[in-house]
Amino acid sequence: MSPLFPTESAPPANEQLEEGAWLLRGFATPDVPALITEISHIHEVSPFRHLVTPSGHTMSVAMTNCGRVGWVSDRRGYRYDPIDPDTAQPWPPFPALFLDLAARAAEAAGFPHYVPDACLINRYVPSAKLSLHQDKDENDAYAPIVSVSIGLAATFQWGGRRRADPVRRMLLESGDIVVWGGPARFVYHGVSPLKPGEHPLTGPTRLNLTFRKVF
């Protein structure tokens, strides 16, 4: 039974953004310290780097990957590569916690049996941003993107299926997860320039994991 007097400690409500898309507030909060430890281990093997887009622009967000393949960009284009071009070695494997968290979040959003094969890890410092884009380099057009926010809060942009569609803005805080798949799989999304701040676990930084089913 729900309490007669809701308290401040009541879990934050999940929000359906549209069919196939959910914002799961605080879903990863208990796992955030362990996620940060895993990211630092991945960074020791495959360090964060600023990729160059096909048009020659250096991205403000620093990136690395773990999993069977990793998302990379250079003058030749965007692609998934089983080899980290910076180390000439495979990307670090998925930590068990990553797979477990991604599967639990996908299931909570209506996508059971989710087994991603890539995880792009983004690192934002103040003013870093990600312009409005669709994730469309994956072969699987149904399985969701599972996006986990860690550290400083950021303004997430949630648009429509066309670039010119209206864009909603929402604050994503550490521990929040956004899941979009099925009918929402190709929604345009982005991240506004990060505002300066200090987070107890990540300092002046925001980290983000996006899980993808590539094959």
Q: Which residues bind ligand SIN (CB under 6 A)?
A: 120, 122, 130, 147, 149, 156, 189, 191, 208, 210
Min CB(166)–ligand SIN separation in Å: 18
Closest-by-Cβ residue to ligand SIN is 208
Q: Rounded to an integer, what distance in angstroms lies between the CA atom of residue 181 and that of residue 121? A: 19
Nearer to ligand SIN, 103 or 172 (CB): 172
Task: Mark out the alpha helices in the chain (DSSP H runs).
Answer: 32-45, 96-108
Positive or negative: CA dihedral 62, 67, 72, 78:
negative
Task: Mark out the alpha helices in 68-123 (DSSP H runs).
Answer: 96-108
What angle do helix axes 32-45 and 96-108 make, rounded to 10 degrees?
Answer: 130
User: Could you tell which of ligand SIN, Fe ion, none binds residue 156, using a CB distance below 5 to 8 A set by kind?
Assistant: ligand SIN
CB 22 within 8 A of CB 179: yes
Number of residues this chain uses to bind Fe ion (CB under 5 A): 1
137 binds Fe ion (CB under 5 A): no
Min CB(160)–ligand SIN separation in Å: 15
Among 81, 117, 135, 173, binds Fe ion (CB under 5 A): 135
Min CB(191)–ligand SIN separation in Å: 5
Q: Rounded to an integer, what distance in angstroms lies between the CA atom of residue 129 and that of residue 185? A: 21
Give the CA distances from residue 15 to residues 12, 24, 101, in Å, rounded to whole numbers and listed in that order: 9, 7, 18
Q: Rounded to an integer, what distance in angstroms lies between the CA atom of residue 123 and that of residue 150? A: 10
Nearer to ligand SIN, 89 or 193 (CB): 193
Query: x/- string (CB under 5 A) for Fe ion, residues 155-184?
Result: ------------------------------
User: Could you tell which of ligand SIN, Fe ion, none binds residue 147, using a CB distance below 5 to 8 A set by kind?
Assistant: ligand SIN
* Cα 120 off chain centre by: 7
User: Could you tell which of Fe ion, ligand SIN, none binds residue 177, using a CB distance below 5 to 8 A set by kind?
Assistant: none
Residues at the site binding Fe ion, with contacts judged by CB under 5 A: 135
